[in-house]
Chain A
Amino acid sequence: MAILETTDRQRIWRGLMRYWSNLREAVGGSKAELLTTINETDNWIDAAQSNYLNSLTYRESYTGGQLTLIFCCVACMRTGLVALLRRLLGVEVDNG
């Protein structure tokens, strides 16, 4: 899977700024720094995806989309983005 097109990276860029603006969440970085961070994240995913997939014992059991969702959900839970995860998965994320 290749890196994202510039326009797709910019869609994420605009979307994140809109998301944080709506939440009124403090953001310390500039527009340019955010875009650079998105670019570097995409580059890292591109470079690291083989290692990630090779580390999964049951990777053949899931589609690429499902593996991506697993990755995102685990990352969200690890970093405390439970509200975002709840919007994606529902109240199951609140049950112990």
Chain B
Amino acid sequence: MEELKQELKAKIIDQLNLEDINVEDINDNDPLFGDGLGLDSIDALELIVMLDKDYGIKLTDPKEGRAIFESIDVMAKYISEYRSK
């Protein structure tokens, strides 16, 4: 699980073009949206594509993302349970 969390942090930084943020700067329970990393609605869509492309998880309702993308910790638990890749 720890390895997956580090992988997610690196992917989020790379794929969402977060400048001047390192893996060490993101805590497992930091909120990803709002006051946390400050991600926006387009970032949420990118994360949905990433779940599909990298982990084989298809979210049919984008609203589901709101709960899944709460933090790295929540994302990692969800991916571990539902991944097909």
Q: Indicate, yes or no, whether A interacts with B.
A: no
Chain B interface residues (CB < 8 Å from chain A): none
